[in-house]
Structure formats: C-alpha cells, structure tokens
C-alpha cells in the first residue's frame, strides 16, 4: 500500500465514521483505564457486562480499594483471568491513591508502571482519554496492518511503529479506532468480508479478493 492509497484508505474510513469511539463503556478516565485493563483476552461486550455492575458500586480507585480484592473479583468473574485482573486492578488503585491522589497519570512511563498495564493499555488511555496520537495495536490492528499492507510487521511493536510512520498526521488520533472496527466487523480473521469492504481497492489483498 503506497502513501496515496493510505490517504484514500483513511479518507474513506473517516467519511463512513467521522467520530469513531471505543466500544468500551466508561464515564471517567479511571473507568476507561479499568475497562481496558480488564479487556485483555476478553471482548468489549464481556467487559461492559461486568463493569456495568462494578462501576455502580465502585468507580474510583478509593472505592475499589474499599471494596477489596475478593469482592472485586466477584464483580468481574465473568471475564477471563478475572482473579489476576482483580489483583492487578486492586494494586493499581492503591498506587493511584497513594502516589497520584486518585488521578490517572498522563505519562506513558507512569501508566506502564501500574500492575496489569502494558504498552497497549497505556496507548489506549493516552489516545482516548488524553487525545494523544498513539497506536494501540491489538490482534485486529495487527491483522489489518499486515493483511492490507498498511503496516506490515512481525510483532505488535513493529506494526505500531509502521503505523505511526505511515499514517498521515491528520488521521493519527482516530486511526486506531477505525482499524479496530474494520478488523472486528469487516477484515475478520477467519474470512475477511471483502465483498462489503469499502477500502478493498486500496488493499494489497485486493487482487485475491477479486478472484474469489
């Protein structure tokens, strides 16, 4: 995919969805951080189901500390790896209260120092909550980046770096939302829905799609 095709690719996605949003439900920066932390190896639908129950009773670091790790685990037990996630979220809340006055820090280094918060989670929080042009590469974006030729890479960091280098600046803030949604609903893992893809003409896999 060349630079002209990349621009066309994002112009088409932007025209179809001018203001893309995460499908995780949240009402504060902390709720976003908690939801993303819980979303590892889980679906947004499953996380939302759990956080709708949790956030009603505990939606701040202090309240989750008061809830306790065991009770927290009960609220999120429908999510995979819930015991580990409860431990990490509870520990993160303690750090937020003791070191940051209950606020979510706005630096990558501080975010990645929190238990259960890796580079992808930090990128989501920096992008969605603070409007930074970061690229949170999940399985969908990794697949789309490689399959389309937009950002080929052997691992998530390579794909992230390729995206940051190749996506025109005007699209960077929203790009990861468009790519996640495209991977989730169109450029799917088992069988990409090329027949309904609006950007198939810009895709390096277009000849294969046309041959179907």
The percent of residues in the chain predicted with pLDDT above 90, rounded, is 95
pLDDT grade for 199, boundaries at 50, 70 and 90? very high
**pLDDT on residue 75:** 96
155-184 tens-digit pLDDT? 999 999 999 999 999 999 999 999 999 999
Catalytic residue among 138, 154, 174, 204: 138
Residue 7: Cβ-neighbour burial (10 angstroms; 0-12, 13-18, 19+): middle
138 is catalytic: yes
Distance CA 147, CA 190 (A): 12
Catalytic residue among 49, 83, 120, 204: 120
pLDDT grade for 210, boundaries at 50, 70 and 90? low
Instruction: Share the mean pLDDT of the chain.
Output: 94
How many alpha carbons fall within 13 Å on the CB side of residue 86? 20
**pLDDT on residue 207:** 63
30-39 tens-digit pLDDT? 999 999 999 9
Give me the residue label for tokens 């706005």. Answer: 106
pLDDT at 89 over 90: yes
107-149 tens-digit pLDDT? 999 999 999 999 999 999 999 999 999 999 999 999 999 999 9
């Amino acid at each position: 995919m060349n630079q002209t095709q990349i621009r066309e690719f994002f112009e088409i996605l932007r025209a179809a969805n001018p203001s893309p949003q995460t499908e995780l439900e949240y009402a504060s920066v902390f709720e976003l951080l908690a939801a993303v932390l819980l979303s590892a190896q889980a679906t947004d639908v499953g996380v939302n189901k759990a956080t709708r129950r949790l956030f009603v009773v505990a939606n701040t670091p202090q309240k989750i500390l008061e809830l306790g790790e065991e009770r927290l685990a009960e609220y999120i037990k429908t999510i995979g790896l819930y015991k580990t996630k409860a431990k990490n979220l509870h520990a993160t809340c303690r750090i937020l209260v003791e070191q940051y006055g209950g606020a979510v820090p706005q630096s990558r280094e501080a975010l990645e120092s929190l238990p259960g918060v890796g580079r992808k989670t930090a990128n989501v929080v920096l992008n969605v909550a603070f409007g930074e042009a970061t690229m949170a590469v999940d399985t969908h974006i990794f697949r789309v980046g490689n399959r389309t030729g937009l950002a080929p890479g052997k691992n998530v960091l390579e794909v992230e770096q390729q995206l940051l280098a190749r996506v025109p600046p005007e699209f960077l803030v929203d790009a990861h939302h468009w790519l996640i949604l495209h991977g989730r609903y169109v450029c799917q893992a088992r069988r990409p829905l090329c027949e309904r893809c609006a950007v198939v003409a810009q895709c390096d896999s277009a000849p294969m799609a046309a041959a179907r």
